[in-house]
Chains A and B, each alone.
Chain A
């Protein structure tokens, strides 16, 4: 009897071993497939941008380029050097930088302040204020295009980088406030009480005590806002044109307005250039992103 039970345990043990092994290999298989699936377009883009038009015509999408040929990158960035009709990214890249830096700064700062007030200086009706701010997260951008265009017109800043800064700041505030509120909720209010007894005022408590411990959420907000604003096409194409357009709009114009032949290599290089800044931000601050998001999610 005893032996029988032992034998059947052995069998079960073997069985569970095989099941686990199978599941593990299956998991790896799925992961590898998805990894390939996601990396493939990037591979095509990079490879194509390094080919000459001759190579593109002769080879397939997947063929390896003959050498490191950055000509199309230079064209995408700086143009060919002849006058009219030569669109290239350089001026629009700076337009985007001029738009994204102040917009990220202001929306983050205002969000931090609002989150601070909504958690540490509660007032009557603060819940409603927060609720209305949350609505801002859910309003589709298309719905406000016309009123916003009118507002910019009245303010006299339509078709300018400043106008785009304003739009993106306003549209960033609901998200940044939400981030900061959820982060500050997890910070004990006793800190604020202690600081008040120590004689610190509203701004001093914010700058000296809360802001120094907010690094994770600041990084999260910056990444979020930077990605949103840098990649935005709708506001950019609606509220600006020509000289004042941000890079995503320029990229679109460039790709669509090719005169005779489609220059795939230049198009690919342009697309990569337009995506590089967000990649850099993710690489530099990515680990904070995961950490900050989860800490906010769990405690908020």
Chain B
């Protein structure tokens, strides 16, 4: 039994297609992050799961029960909003029990739930305050509390941290992670921040133009991006995509860029399909953090590149190199001294590379 199952879901606003044939499943207790640039449809998808938006095609199942036409309040879900959406005229207590009162839960049960949750989230001292008298972090906690008291099957979070300042955001991120570890409730979490997605999710679904590009564990998303969009979206700075061709001779595959005599051997790469590789146009993907200034393992490929630009950011520096007139970025500790406009010896860690078909932009 899947806690949440979405089948062939499509959604249009007028003539604009917002979601296209979305399929998604979440197991009990998992933390799914919907990640993507703004306008990719992730918030719409969340609103559809909540029942706040209607569906054009497809179905949403919660616990194997088709809830596509069920009212939000009857879906056994709770939602935390970006603006917190605390009712301004009610104090914290009234805010937290509003839902239970609507559901006509008994007074004793309400008090019991309120006490349990407010203690757990450390807002028990704030119960009589109005939302306007709370700090950003406190509002966030109350908003989570309001969701928690209902003991929902699925928690929905809509960019809950993007209104907080950088420092508080990191703190609240840890708190949400702890919360999930303790409660083990199923979560669907929408964000455009890849660090949030990576650190919180047990699964990440990357979306673009209303389509899920890849739905996988954070490790696979990072190490084995399924297309160039994912490769480019995840990581900062993003993965270097070097254009060139594959060359196959006597069962040895190598990568060559146009007009260059440098051949990078591709050994032990896990090809999806192992035929027709010769002369294939590809992107050679390597992350900036997998380029080293000294040899890290036996598979490393040694190469001399000219350094063009250096960006110092404290704990590290981002160097831009020229590789046959294509930019290649590398990330080094800031203690390493590299001269600009001179050739520098670099090592590509070939165990960490990705290859993409230049036409379909899919991983090969």
Q: Which residues on A are within 8 Å of B, measured CB to CB?
A: 188, 190-191, 193-200, 204, 208-209, 212-213
Contacts and interface: CB of A to CB of B under 8 A. Distances in A.
Given A198-B73, A198-B146, 9 more contacts: A193-B47, A193-B85, A194-B87, A196-B72, A197-B52, A197-B78, A199-B102, A208-B87, A213-B89
Nearest to A188: B83
A225 B146 CA distance: 39
User: Could you say which of B78, B99, B158 has the most chain A C-beta atoms within 10 Å of its C-beta?
Assistant: B99
B79 A194 contact: yes
Contacts of A193: 47, 50, 52, 79, 81, 85
Contact of B52 (A196, A198, A200, A209): A196
A199 B73 CA distance: 5
Interface string B34-52: 0000000000000100111
Contacts of A195: 87, 98
Contacts of A188: 83, 85
A198 B99 CA distance: 4
B72 A197 contact: yes
Interface in B53-95: 71-73, 77-79, 81-83, 85, 87-89
Interface residues of B, number: 23
User: Could you say which of A190, A197, A204 has the most chain B C-beta atoms within 10 Å of its C-beta?
Assistant: A197
Contacts of A209: 87, 89
Contact of A198 (B82, B88, B102): B102
A198 B85 contact: no
B103 interface: yes
A212 B87 CA distance: 10
A199 B99 contact: yes
B338 to A, nearest CB: 48
Contacts of A212: 88-89
Nearest to B97: A198
Contacts of B88: 191, 212-213
A191 B89 CA distance: 11
A191 B99 contact: no
B103 A199 contact: yes
B82 A197 contact: no
A194 B81 contact: yes
B301 to A, nearest CB: 51
Nearest to A194: B85
Nearest to A193: B52
User: Could you say which of A193, A204, A208 has the most chain B C-beta atoms within 10 Å of its C-beta?
Assistant: A193
B74 to A, nearest CB: 8
Contacts of B146: 194, 198
Nearest to B53: A193
24 contacts: A188-B85, A190-B85, A190-B158, A191-B85, A191-B88, A193-B47, A193-B50, A193-B52, A193-B81, A193-B85, A194-B79, A194-B81, A196-B72, A196-B73, A197-B52, A197-B79, A197-B99, A198-B146, A199-B73, A199-B102, A204-B102, A209-B87, A209-B89, A212-B88
